[in-house]
Structure 1
Amino acid sequence: LWIKSQIQTEIGIDVKKILFVEHHLSHAASAMFASPYKEAAVLTVDGVGEWTTAAIGYATAKWDENSNVQNQINLTRELRFPHSVGLLYSAFTAFLGFRVNNGEYKVMGMAPYGSPNYVDEILKVVDIDNEGSVHLNLNYFSFHYSTQHTYNNKFIEIFGSPRPPESEFYTLNTHPNRDHPNWDEQTAQLNQKYADIAASIQYVTEEIVLKMARYAHGLTGHSNLVMAGGVALNSVANGRLVREGPFENVFIQPAAGDAGGALGAALYVYHVILNRPRQFVMEHAYWGASYSVSRQMEAIRGLGLQYQEIEDTDILSDQVVSKILDGKVVSLYQGRGEWGPRALGNRSIVADPRQL
């Protein structure tokens, strides 16, 4: 009621025109009604939305105005708070020194520097069944009663002291310049432990996603899968799902997290409530803002930057590669910005990691 009145006051919309779509239905719609499929299994996995933390179901889409097919999304299985894959991952995000709901991708990025040596320890704080359902041992967590902390001292007894936020990260194998002024062998060894923990929670998450997907496939029998929710932004897990999963086709909308919920709510109302036929397929991720060449040049000149105009794309590509190989850091700005949190070449910073 408060949200409705606020929308009416701030935007001036009649409350009769305001519709609410449940969190995981919004996730599901953002994937299904942007996909190219007529029917698909649905899997949504995140931290929590309302009280649901994961859901499985099926969806159908009407592409022809005269078709008797109904646009529908039916979520038939759900996992409920406080048992959550996303919140489990977020607890380790905080433990590893990153911000919850912001730094999960950094855990995914830290994982390749380690080995999954702490899987057995993780399985002491979470039970996972063959369907991918998780049951957290709440004796080790505090997110269900605290707004400040996600894990407690019993968690620390298993995994040791947490990594200090914003501390430098390097291991014995990943810091080639041992004469660096900040180099410290003890820190490097400790960071290796943190990298191993990151690799372990990443592995456990991948296994959970695969089990959920296999269960969804067995439940629905569909060859297509649409997936959404914050966990669907874990591209490493998605890669395993594509390679090892039971589905022939997998579609994940680029803004799979909560930012894509607005899109999903709008698509749900348009297609399910109004039963309008499908017309649009999201075939790429470049739906962000773009600026004219004149605006770009105005910004460059305003900053007093040196520049060179190169119209031949092959020559430009060669120069970019050459600079990267020379150890330079190159920013890429072209076309429209990416829709979603992943840098995919239009707003990207690229470098040779061997020289960092």
Structure 2
Amino acid sequence: MLVLGLSNMRDASAALVENGRVIAAVEEERFVRVKHVTALPLHAIRYCLKEAGIEAGDLDAVAVPWKYWVLGRRSLLALSAMLRSPQLLRVKGKRSLERMRQEWTELAFLSGKLSQALGSLRVKPTYLDHHLCHAASTYLVSPFDRAAILIVDGASESHTALLALGDGSQIRVLKRIPLPHSLGQFYAAMTAFLGFRPDYDEYIVMGLAAYGKPEYAEQMRTHILQLRPEGAFQLNTRLLDFHLARVGIFPPALQQLIGPHRRHDEEITQRHRDLAASAQLVLEETVLHMARHLRHLTDTDNLCLAGGVANNCVANSRLSREAGFRHVYVQPAAGDAGTALGAALWLSNRRGAFSQREVMRHTYLGPQFTEEACRDALTRAGLSGEPFSGEALCERVATELALGRLVFWFQGRMEWGPRALGHRSLLADPRREDMRELINAKVKLREPFRPFAPAVLEERASDYFDWVGPS
């Protein structure tokens, strides 16, 4: 059974699954070169079909990770906003209209749009629960036959987090956290408060947090994000509202509590670093609160993570050490891009076509290019190339790195997910103390504190890091 999963929301993507085996998966941004693009992922879909050597008419199912007609909870919140603040209603209403005109309209008329762009389909799309697709995207490719599943993001159709148990081929929902109490939206709103782009620059806040102290954590715990019994939490949206934060509006009471917000062109001060550290700590504590309750509910040593918050690797490291689980699995495309894969896997599973459950041990599911195509690209760019054999290539690369130079490494199929993991990577010698600042200033053109991911032989990882097992 061939199932195409697609997501047309932020981080638009497509994935193709055959009887539970992942054939291809890629984000639309890799083709249109717009990060986190919201679009019908036609380029990504065409690539998936091409990789499998099929046409759209050969598909047995099309799976979509969003039930666009489920608006009850959001409608109630819109009514509450109308009663609470005309300004909030205006902001929320504008955003809802934008989504209705693009994402939700595309989903409502998806069959016709796909047929027009790709050729006739013999199946109609199946629309699935967003958080269950997140859950399937991590559990059904994990090495576990039984695992706790924790999904934390900005929002699904009506909820912001899901606690579940994966057992065999089944996923059983144990608890949901309803809107507006969103950990993802809390962190996104604090990203905006710190002068960065919400739903885009959260990883910058995570990096900045390492340079601060959580001086404002207690104020945030007491007044903004409070823990509740049984893994629940409550977000005070009167103080910190994601929708207002997206457009740079913050209540006077919030600024009395933690000081004025930073404008995007304002210098980053120690107070901003401390605010980032405080938001990061409160996020970690809340995720741990949910995970510990989930551990109690499931009595399993295995944990699967997904949702945008699962991209916060600092929080994940605390989960692995402190939540009571022995093994933690994070699907590489943990954000909304991963729901395209999850939708294809979940629908395959529901229809009894999951004959091959494969563990995702690598992320190389995207396009690749022939040597001829690479040479043509170099020629068009006015560059020359010199061929090397395998051993000679490794020697040359090692020499360049030892001399303090940068190596741009390109091989095989493109990575699935936001991380460069060895197939489209920038390599540098980590022994040089100035290397991070050098790359940030001269190549990335970004803030000097921004970190890079280390790469090390698996058998040597414990020599350098407080970590046991693959990563």
Give the TM bin, normalised by the shorter chain: 0.7 to 0.9
Which residue, 364, 368, 372 being the options, matches 1:294? 372
Aligned twin of 1:165: 264
Aligned twin of 1:171: none
Q: Please tell me whether the aligned partners of residues 209 and 237 of structure 1 are also in contact (alpha carbons under 8 angstroms).
A: yes
Report the CA distance between 1:5 and its aligned residue.
4.6
Report the CA distance between 1:344 and its aligned residue.
2.0
How far apart in 1 are the matches of 2:254 and 2:406?
39
Count of matched residue pairs: 323
Q: TM-score, normalised by structure 2?
A: 0.64
Q: In structure 1, the residue corresponding to 2:305 is in which secondary structure?
A: strand
Aligned twin of 1:104: 202
Identify if the C-alpha distance between structure 1 residues 151 and 134 changes in structure 2 by more than 3 Å, giving closer, same or farther.
farther
Q: Please tell me whether the aligned partners of residues 140 and 154 of structure 1 are also in contact (alpha carbons under 8 angstroms).
A: yes
How far apart in 2 are the matches of 1:150 and 1:56?
32
How far apart in 1 are the matches of 2:244 and 2:232?
22
The percent identity for this pair of structures is: 38
Identify if the C-alpha distance between structure 1 residues 293 and 14 changes in structure 2 by more than 3 Å, giving closer, same or farther.
closer
Aligned twin of 2:398: 318
Identify if the C-alpha distance between structure 1 residues 238 and 142 changes in structure 2 by more than 3 Å, giving closer, same or farther.
closer
How far apart in 2 are the matches of 1:118 and 1:4?
42
Report the CA distance between 1:16 and its aligned residue.
6.5
Q: Within the alignment, does 1:332 sit opposite 2:431 as a pair?
A: no
Moved more, 252-261 or 275-284: 275-284
How far apart in 1 are the matches of 2:309 and 2:422?
22
Task: Structure 2: state its 5+ residue gaps.
Answer: 1-68, 70-104, 438-471
Q: In structure 2, the residue corresponding to 1:49 is in which secondary structure?
A: coil
Q: Within the alignment, does 1:193 sit opposite 2:271 as a pair?
A: yes
Q: Within the alignment, does 1:32 sit opposite 2:139 as a pair?
A: yes
How far apart in 1 are the matches of 2:374 and 2:367?
13
Identify if the C-alpha distance between structure 1 residues 95 and 350 changes in structure 2 by more than 3 Å, giving closer, same or farther.
farther
* Counterpart code for 1:232: A
Report the CA distance between 1:75 and its aligned residue.
1.1
Identify if the C-alpha distance between structure 1 residues 5 and 84 changes in structure 2 by more than 3 Å, giving closer, same or farther.
closer
Identify if the C-alpha distance between structure 1 residues 108 and 5 changes in structure 2 by more than 3 Å, giving closer, same or farther.
closer
- Deviation sequence 1:262-296 (CA, Å, 0-9, x none): 11111111012436334321111221221112211
How far apart in 2 are the matches of 1:340 and 1:215?
29
How far apart in 2 are the matches of 1:211 and 1:320?
46
Aligned twin of 1:68: none
Task: Structure 1: state its 5+ residue gaps.
Answer: 62-70, 168-186
How far apart in 2 are the matches of 1:27 and 1:76?
15
Q: Please tell me whether the aligned partners of residues 131 and 214 of structure 1 are also in contact (alpha carbons under 8 angstroms).
A: no
* Counterpart code for 2:110: I
How far apart in 2 are the matches of 1:221 and 1:143?
35
Identify if the C-alpha distance between structure 1 residues 309 and 208 changes in structure 2 by more than 3 Å, giving closer, same or farther.
same
Q: In structure 1, the residue corresponding to 2:347 is in which secondary structure?
A: helix
For 1:252-271, list aligned pairs within 5 A. Answer: 252-271=330-349
How far apart in 2 are the matches of 1:349 and 1:151?
38
Aligned twin of 2:421: 344
Which residue, 234, 238, 257 being the options, matches 2:312? 234
Which residue, 255, 259, 270 being the options, matches 1:156? 255
Report the CA distance between 1:314 and its aligned residue.
3.3
More relative contact order in 1 or in 2 (CA 8 Å, sep 6+)? 1
Aligned twin of 2:359: 281
For 1:208-247, list aligned pairs within 5 A. Answer: 208-247=286-325
Q: In structure 2, the residue corresponding to 1:140 is in which secondary structure?
A: coil
Report the CA distance between 1:24 and its aligned residue.
0.4
Aligned twin of 2:166: 59
Identify if the C-alpha distance between structure 1 residues 162 and 304 changes in structure 2 by more than 3 Å, giving closer, same or farther.
same
* Counterpart code for 1:195: R
Aligned twin of 2:98: none
Q: Within the alignment, does 1:115 sit opposite 2:213 as a pair?
A: yes
* Counterpart code for 1:197: L
Aligned twin of 1:50: 157
Report the CA distance between 1:142 and its aligned residue.
2.9
Q: In structure 2, the residue corresponding to 1:258 is in which secondary structure?
A: coil
How far apart in 1 are the matches of 2:315 and 2:166?
23
How big is the alpha-carbon RMSD for the aligned residues of Structure 1 and Structure 2? 2.3
Report the CA distance between 1:35 and its aligned residue.
0.9
- Deviation sequence 1:183-217 (CA, Å, 0-9, x none): xxxx4xx5221111111111111121122111111
Aligned twin of 2:92: none
* Counterpart code for 1:225: L
Identify if the C-alpha distance between structure 1 residues 302 and 144 changes in structure 2 by more than 3 Å, giving closer, same or farther.
closer
Report the CA distance between 1:259 and its aligned residue.
0.7
Aligned twin of 1:135: 234
Q: In structure 1, the residue corresponding to 2:321 is in which secondary structure?
A: helix
Identify if the C-alpha distance between structure 1 residues 225 and 134 changes in structure 2 by more than 3 Å, giving closer, same or farther.
same
Moved more, 109-118 or 52-61: 109-118
Q: In structure 1, the residue corresponding to 2:395 is in which secondary structure?
A: helix
Q: TM-score, normalised by structure 1?
A: 0.83
Q: Please tell me whether the aligned partners of residues 133 and 343 of structure 2 are also in contact (alpha carbons under 8 angstroms).
A: yes
Aligned twin of 1:175: none
Q: Please tell me whether the aligned partners of residues 193 and 245 of structure 2 are also in contact (alpha carbons under 8 angstroms).
A: no
Report the CA distance between 1:150 and its aligned residue.
6.6
* Counterpart code for 2:408: S
* Counterpart code for 2:109: Q
* Counterpart code for 1:81: L
Q: In structure 2, the residue corresponding to 1:54 is in which secondary structure?
A: strand
How far apart in 2 are the matches of 1:149 and 1:79?
26
Aligned twin of 1:11: 114
How far apart in 2 are the matches of 1:139 and 1:292?
55
* Counterpart code for 1:17: K
* Counterpart code for 1:75: V
